[in-house]
Amino acid sequence: MTGLEDQEFDFDFLFEFNQGDEGAAAAAQEHYSYAPTSIGSALPLPTAHPSLPAPCHDLQTATAGLSAMPAASHSAGYGAAMDSASAGYFLSAGSIRPDGAPALESPRIEITSYLGLHHNSSQFFHDVEVEDVIPGAKRSPSTATLSLPGLEAYRDPACLSPASSLSSRSCNSEASSYESNYSYPYTSPQTSPWQSPCVSPKTTDPEEGFPRGLGACTLLGSPRHSPSTSPRASVTEESWLGTRTSRPASPCNKRKYSLNGRQAPYSPHHSPTPSPHGSPRVSVTDDTWLGSTTQYTSSAIVAAINALTTDSSLDLGDGVPVKARKTGLEHSPSVALKVEPAGEDLGTTPPASDFPPEDFSTFQHIRKGAFCDQYLSVPQHPYQWAKPKSLTPTSYMSPSLPALDWQLPSHSGPYELRIEVQPKSHHRAHYETEGSRGAVKASAGGHPVVQLHGYLENEPLTLQLFIGTADDRLLRPHAFYQVHRITGKTVSTTSHEAVLCSTKVLEIPLLPENNMRATIDCAGILKLRNSDIELRKGETDIGRKNTRVRLVFRVHIPQPSGRTLSLQVASNPIECSQRSAQELPLVEKQSADSYPVVGGKKMVLSGHNFLQDSKVIFVEKAPDGHHVWEMEAKTDRDLCKPNSLVVEIPPFRNQRITSPVQVSFYVCNGKRKRSQHQHFTYLPANVPVIKTEPSDDYEPASACGPASQGLSPVPRPYYSQQLAAPPDPGSCLVAGFPLCPQRSTVMPTPRSASPKLHDLSAAAYTKGIASPAHCHLGLAQPAGEVAAVQDVPRPVAVHPGSPEQPPPATLQPQ
DNA sequence: GAGCTGGAAGCAGGA
DNA sequence: TTTCCTGCTTCCAGC
């Protein structure tokens, strides 16, 4: 992976969610005009060529805008086209639909207007009402459970990006906030209720009915239902895909049992597998792209129309192929979540059938109509899991928690969420067709351990765990891996499975009696078939060789003010592929991360799969991704061990640098057997060396373990994105963060802004907050709190998964 | 017998 | 165009 241009940021920000203190009018205004702003903010597009590395949010932005881009716009190249075309995607100010939603002028706009259609006044006021009825700080845990047959099959039309295959670098992960809108309340003690049914394809646990049954997967081709219920169930998509390419993208149909045993084609025109037409990972050349742009565009339009139709009518069947709908119904009796026995006595989530039709309909409204309106308070008593509650609309509460692809600090003020024991660097994930491969283990045996420090209250909290990415982009939920709940006699930790924004989240109690410490022995990793995920609308990542993940832990700490402080910490990368784990070199730790340009110092790398023939290549890249300098470092073959490698830092090409220069290096075992890039910084020759970790004292055996989390001097791999806490938690507290940042356009992104950083100027942020585009009811940002955000030095906002509207986060480039 | 684990077969795409 | 390599997915067998 490219690396130099991908800056590793140490940015901190804190979320505080002011729940329920919003005026209805302000919220309504925000809601109402959300869509247009969202669009606008999504428009700033990268100018770099897509083939060149670029900051992730830029790519995301590009992705968002690619969906229905006119063919002509692409001719000039990906990034350029986006820029040039962006103007066309803004809503016309004067175009208003009869229902008040802005009219649309382009497929792109049409898609986004979906929001407007459903952020209509009725829905809006309903939500406001909820907010008013239940003050956020006093809300009890929301325990809404919902069955949404067929409906979940729909995927965010805004993500309908046929160009998704163009790049594997997009941050538009399936679980990004883009899709936060497709979620519903769920029974959870403390966390967000965003549930998207489109999670893993087929649970290995038969009793786990929720995702399997969720119709979302029927349309989306979610792996859980795929391939029979792949997006291609849609005639629209069929026609679209059918003209794209004849290249098969998935080996899924290579097994007879796949055709006959598990899935039956629901259409004579359909391959039983989801990917007879070419996977998004197909390398799309300019020719193929241009040649199919028209089809993309038109299909995007049709898809968007389908979505709109389905949405506006709330008829689950509209726009959903009959077969898909049927499948969804068959499979989704409920979104009831599987609960550990310990929690089951507390009640189970009622199936959808328990809802009166009107309530069900209301929930459909909530989930689909109000993209970002799924509100859930932060429960004060997390362990009333699955406690049945009346699911009337008024009892539906807002989560107001940060989306899973938001970057959060690991510590703030007295609190620190820390991984005490890191997981092993290798854990072979299991496919749905396989049995579980057990829980993730720690390097030295046992299991990972996570602890929340500084929490002195007696109230238990919920630790959330999901599978995040481990690439050099910002952390976000991994599209191709999901956490898998492990149960059994060997599992001592109670857990609870939920789905947030298409991402499975394991919820684990953090109990004061356990010193807020949890042993993660209940979390396995499920691999989703690449072909299934890549075919999802809006999915731009590719699964191939995208096999590194991290365990991401989150905790939401209620504050006396009624707000919630969210912390997050990610584990070291875990290689999940069998083959990669066996062959690819993996650098877990390096004994130095900087040295003067003269080089010559021995650096010890620890990791896996090092060979005597392993080479260590130092690379400097230009911002455009070109290699400016590349040099092979000398390795000491005598000292080479499978898990450690001694390398001599090569002298930098320029001995006269006046400021540190960041380069990267990787270990190469062969042609395509390279490790991830690791950061290394060359210092000016006259800069005194800060001794970090003497190589003499270095013990490779210590490479694995808690120290590698970020506590040791140089544990951080290139792609690590551990966040540091702000100096003062109060300095960047942000109340009223949008639940679905991608939709909420906290601040309009200047189209001329740097592709890497979005300026969070006072004006911009204030405007964003006050903007009616804010999609979250009751989450308007008081001016004072906005100012607090601005108090953070050099504040810039960034949102990895949401190019449309970076969250009010502070970002401090490393 | 179920679950976990390691190994490998078979296929498809890419080099 | 062909061949080989690589990666993905599934299956099998042992514990």
Residues A516 and A531 in one domain: yes
Residues A627 and A661 in one domain: yes
Contact between A59 and A167 (Cβ < 8 Å):
yes
Position A276 scores a pLDDT of: 30
- The pLDDT tens digits for A149-190 are 322 332 333 332 322 332 333 333 333 333 333 333 333 333
Residues A484 and A602 in one domain: no
Residue A679 falls within a domain, yes or no?
Answer: yes
| Residue A813: strand, helix, or coil | strand
Indicate yes or no: strand B within 7 A of the C-beta of A488: yes
Residues A564 and A430 in one domain: yes
**Whole-number Å distance, CA A111 to C1' B6?**
47
Instruction: Give the pTM.
Output: 0.48
Residues A519 and A601 in one domain: no
Residue A301 falls within a domain, yes or no?
Answer: no
**Whole-number Å distance, CA A507 to C1' C5?**
42
Nucleotide with C1' nearest the A576 CA: C8
- The pLDDT tens digits for A678-735 are 889 999 987 665 554 433 333 333 333 333 333 233 334 443 333 333 333 333 333 3
C-alpha A408 chain-centroid distance: 12
> A529, A550, A577: which is the final residue of a domain?
A577
Token pair recorded at residue A803: 């190019």
Contact between A231 and A220 (Cβ < 8 Å):
yes
Residue A545 falls within a domain, yes or no?
Answer: yes
Nucleotide with C1' nearest the A275 CA: B12
- The pLDDT tens digits for A94-105 are 333 333 333 333
Residues A593 and A464 in one domain: no
Residues A541 and A462 in one domain: yes
Residues A509 and A562 in one domain: yes
> A577, A596, A616: which is the final residue of a domain?
A577
Nucleotide with C1' nearest the A673 CA: C6
Instruction: Give A490 or A204, the one with higher predicted confidence.
Output: A490
Q: CA-CA distance, A236 to A220, in Å (whole number)? A: 12
C-alpha A613 chain-centroid distance: 37
- The pLDDT tens digits for A622-670 are 877 777 888 889 888 888 877 788 999 999 999 989 999 999 888 887 7
Residues A542 and A447 in one domain: yes
Position A636 scores a pLDDT of: 85
- The pLDDT tens digits for A496-508 are 888 888 889 999 9
Residue A474 falls within a domain, yes or no?
Answer: yes
- The pLDDT tens digits for A365-384 are 333 322 222 222 223 333 33
Whether the per-residue pLDDT at A448 is higher than 80: the answer is: yes
Residue A504 falls within a domain, yes or no?
Answer: yes
> A547, A577, A607: which is the final residue of a domain?
A577
Residue A131 falls within a domain, yes or no?
Answer: no
- Phi, psi for A256 (deg, rounded to 5): -60, -35
Mean of pLDDT values over A409-433: 91
Residues A514 and A594 in one domain: no
CA distances from A603 to A307, A367, A561, A592, A695 (A): 55, 53, 48, 6, 6
pLDDT above 70: percentage of residues in chain A: 35
Residue A592 falls within a domain, yes or no?
Answer: yes
Q: How sure is the predictor about A671, in pLDDT bands with cuts at 50, 70 and 90?
A: low
Q: For residue A530, give its domain range.
A: 411-577
Indicate yes or no: strand C within 7 A of the C-beta of A672: yes
Instruction: Give A530 or A687, the one with higher predicted confidence.
Output: A530
- The pLDDT tens digits for A213-226 are 333 333 333 333 33
Residues A558 and A662 in one domain: no
Residue A559 falls within a domain, yes or no?
Answer: yes
Q: How sure is the predictor about A751, in pLDDT bands with cuts at 50, 70 and 90?
A: very low
Q: How sure is the predictor about A452, in pLDDT bands with cuts at 50, 70 and 90?
A: very high
Whether the per-residue pLDDT at A524 is higher than 70: the answer is: yes
Residue A269 makes CB contacts below 8 A (sequence gap 6+) with A238
Q: Which nucleotides of B are covered by protein (CB under 7 A)?
A: 3-8, 10-15
| Residue A590: strand, helix, or coil | strand
A611: domain CATH number is 2.60.40.10
Q: Which nucleotides of C are covered by protein (CB under 7 A)?
A: 5-13
Position A689 scores a pLDDT of: 58
Indicate yes or no: strand C within 7 A of the C-beta of A255: yes
Q: How sure is the predictor about A57, in pLDDT bands with cuts at 50, 70 and 90?
A: very low
Quote the number of domains for chain A: 2
For strands A678-683 and A594-596, give the pairing. Answer: parallel
Indicate yes or no: strand B within 7 A of the C-beta of A55: no
Position A467 scores a pLDDT of: 93
Beta partners for residue A663, in sequence order: A680
Residues A460 and A565 in one domain: yes
**Whole-number Å distance, CA A427 to C1' B6?**
12
A476: domain CATH number is 2.60.40.340
**Whole-number Å distance, CA A707 to C1' B8?**
36
Q: How sure is the predictor about A10, in pLDDT bands with cuts at 50, 70 and 90?
A: very low
Nearest residue (CA) to C1' of C11: A434
